[in-house]
Amino acid sequence: MASETARIEAFSDCVFSIAGTLLVLNLKPPAANAPFWQGLAAQWPGFAAFLLSFFFIGIMWINHYRLFQHIQRPDDVLLFTNLLVLLGAVWIPYPTSLIAQAVTGGNLRDAAILYNGSYFVMALLFNLQLRLVIRRGLVDREYAGVRGIARSYVVGPAGYALCLACTWWNVGASLALNGALALFFLLAPGLGRRGARVSA
């Protein structure tokens, strides 16, 4: 961890870990008047939402880590945009809890609009941070790595906007596309490096 950004990274790691931990608070014990295992099984939407959003927050942290490997020094703009990214991360447990409740309680489309819209805003915030650190010369000279991150980030706003638009047509498809985008952001940098080695 570079000394110039050590405190930012340490604080960010703590916030991401807290955001992931908050997700478990949405899980409730089975109803006292129901059989134990049946009561747990009835809460499958909450468990599914917990696993997916923990996975997504983890991917956010991975991409945050990858970007900060290239940041050499901080400035006030980086500090502010980083706070915005962290604000988005700690917000995620809320729409997650709403969509889990909506699976059995109704208003699933409205909850999915908020859920997909939240990830669209997160994609915008990650892109804002990336563009500003490049423009302000805060990244290192390993531009190949930074360009790879930039190429993968471009997909985010358009992809999550498509998720959001798809919500009005098919909620399940919009959530599946949301999951596919998360997988893309997990794998994209590795795929780019592999392609570069093959073409070399």
Instruction: State pLDDT tens for residues 69-85.
Output: 888 888 899 999 999 99
Please indicate, yes or no, whether the overall pTM of this predicted structure exceeds 0.85.
no
Kindly state whether residue 178 falls inside one of the protein's structural domains: yes
Domain count, the chain: 1
Kindly state whether residue 84 falls inside one of the protein's structural domains: yes
Domain that includes residue 193, residue range: 6-199
The token pair that represents 32 in the structure block: 């006292």
Kindly state whether residue 185 falls inside one of the protein's structural domains: yes
Instruction: State pLDDT tens for residues 44-64.
Output: 877 887 887 888 888 889 889
Say which residues have a Cβ less than 8 Å from residue 35's Cβ, sequence separation at least 6. Answer: none
Kindly state whether residue 96 falls inside one of the protein's structural domains: yes
Instruction: State pLDDT tens for residues 22-43.
Output: 788 777 777 778 788 887 887 7
For residue 192, what pLDDT band results from cuts at 50, 70 and 90? very low
Kindly state whether residue 182 falls inside one of the protein's structural domains: yes
Kindly state whether residue 126 falls inside one of the protein's structural domains: yes
Q: Which DSSP helix (H) or strand (E) runs through 120?
A: helix 108-135
Token pair 């990830």 is found at 119
What does the pLDDT read at residue 125?
93
The token pair that represents 121 in the structure block: 């805003």
Say if residue 196's pLDDT is above 50. no
Contact 164, 95 (CB under 8 A): no
Kindly state whether residue 1 falls inside one of the protein's structural domains: no
- 3-state class of 3 per DSSP? coil
Kindly state whether residue 144 falls inside one of the protein's structural domains: yes
